[in-house]
Amino acid sequence: MSLPIRNIAIIAHVDHGKTTLVDALLKQSGIFREGEDVPDCVMDSNDLERERGITILSKNTAVSYQDTLINIVDTPGHADFGGEVERVLGMVDGCVLIVDANEGPMPQTRFVLKKALEKGLRPIVVVNKIDRPRAHPDGAVDKVFDLFVELGADDDQCDFTTLYASGLEGYVKEALEEEGVDMQPLFEAILNHVPPPAGDVDKPLQLQVTTLDYSDYLGRIVIGRIHNGVLKAGQQAALIKEDGKVVKAKISKLMGFKGLARVELPEAGAGNIVAVSGFADANIGETITCPNEPQALPLIKVDEPTLQMTFSVNNSPFAGQEGDFVTSRQIRDRLMRELETNVALRVEDGDSAEKFLVSGRGELHLGILIETMRREGYEFQVSQPQVIYREIKGKPCEPFEYLVLDVPEAAVGSCIERLGQRKGEMKDMQNNGGRTQLEFVIPARGLIGFRGDFVRITRGEGIMNHSFLEYRGFSGELETRYNGVITAFEEGVATFYALKNAEDRGVFFITPGTKVYKGMIVGEHNRPQDLELNVCKAKQLTNHRAASGDELVQLQAPTEISLERALEYIGADELVEVTPESIRLRKLNTKKLAKR
């Protein structure tokens, strides 16, 4: 006889402690052997997730508690990966909403909670990080209740269970005055407040595909919940495609989840979350069903992408020197392979065989894809991110973002001024002990390139969060970059002498010894015009010794250009050249460069 089941999702704003709390649940459920070395954020298995400290991909795990199997889905908190959240909420019956005791609800809290409430889920609210010095748990609970009401939650949803936790210390408690011991109160709340999955094992089979994975041995693996019926390894089944076409296939392998591992199952009934191989053409939202009585489930609707970039073959003078995969065919195959698991991504052919239009949820969504491809050995170039416009009721509309800034008081005026120039509209301002929280509604294109300005304005002390709000009418033209760029005059190696002599022209992105080519962007000009400079010029050698020859001369520290900074910085006539070893900025057409 199979175990009773509970299916839950862990949802929260980025960095509010989802993955750390799941760590504590896993450790206290007994799935790790005694003395086993378990890393922090064990669910963040991807290298980029560990480096950035964020969850990028939703992941499944399962633990047993009091003879009940609890399937847990850890979801991303960043709105750019909202597609991951939307598709997995359909296979759970409840969710745990985690809120930081200091920050309270943030932009992504609103986003993930809205999706959960739309699905009819009744969240368990966990106020996390109550052991922090500035924690204000009661205030966080009040703000969460206000958010529930604002998002239109019904009476049952507003009557949510509240727990207080420290994921890092590994405890949850029902009241602040209690002593925190372990995670048992959260396990008990899941058993008591999350309903068992609905479904009938006697009805024809229905499994909805919510996640795609890939194995070199098994091929495409589909993960989803069995809504009705029983699924057996080796049985014949049918896949109902999005267009209604029915494709028959055999279940080659059936797997369930136990801790971090997948375990083979002979069969699984309604309510179970399983992984299945045997359907090479399955896509998100499609239904695996009984071949004799095929019945489709409603398709999963995922919000459309809001940002688009052009990926193209690298055609710079340094093309092919650092990458292993450089041709249009290799780049296209890699992008098509990404579509198999990245549900919120779109890829279309560009206006030539060497260009591809790639659409995603935001700069971080696309930036993670670019960084992943770069690490795999791909070399290519990408254009400036462009927002995707839509026509709604005959009017041109653009995506707007909900933006929250937490800044020192001294930076408030500069932030309001700069966002005003970018068509931002301030909705709220609250002072909180020397820091101020600002809330804005702003066009998505107004945020492109703002992060660098924000860091400078706040001297690195500001916190910035934003999430997609809605499409609104076009807000007019706006200027997001006010300074021109400095480009290299010729191919060669940058010298200390040339960079030192040009220090008064602006800020450089390169150091002496950097290889450059004509049209490569090497710095930011301190005036609005672009400037072409000979950064390879060497000092004329003579047999006369200069009077100041013994003085120690130093260059200003260059501005470091990361991939995210590069994507935000470039203009419409510029490109980012991405290779496994380098990130370079360049002009699209070097013939239009200004003469010095």
Name the binding residues.
15-20, 128-131
Indicate the length of the chain as a whole number. 596
Measure CA of the first residue to CA of the last residue in the chain; give whole Å: 81
Least Cα distance to 268 among 240, 221, 229 occurs for 229
- Cβ neighbours of residue 502 closer than 8 Å, sequence gap 6 or more: 486, 508, 533, 535
- Backbone phi, then psi, for 458, in 5-degree steps? -95, 5
Least Cα distance to 285 among 90, 125, 552, 78 occurs for 90
Residue 229 per-residue DSSP state: S
What is the rounded distance in angstroms from the CA atom of residue 432 to the CA atom of residue 429?
10
Q: Is residue 21 within 8 Å of 165, Cβ to Cβ?
A: yes
What is the rounded distance in angstroms from the CA atom of residue 483 to the CA atom of residue 474?
25
The H or E element spanning position 439 is strand 435-443
Binding site for GTP, residues?
15-20, 128-131
Least Cα distance to 511 among 568, 455, 560, 577 occurs for 560
10: which 2 tokens? 């862990």
**Parallel, antiparallel, or unpaired: how do β-strands 59-65 and 5-12 relate?**
unpaired
Instruction: Using alpha carbons only, give the angle 282, 284, 286 rounded to the nearest 5 degrees.
Output: 65
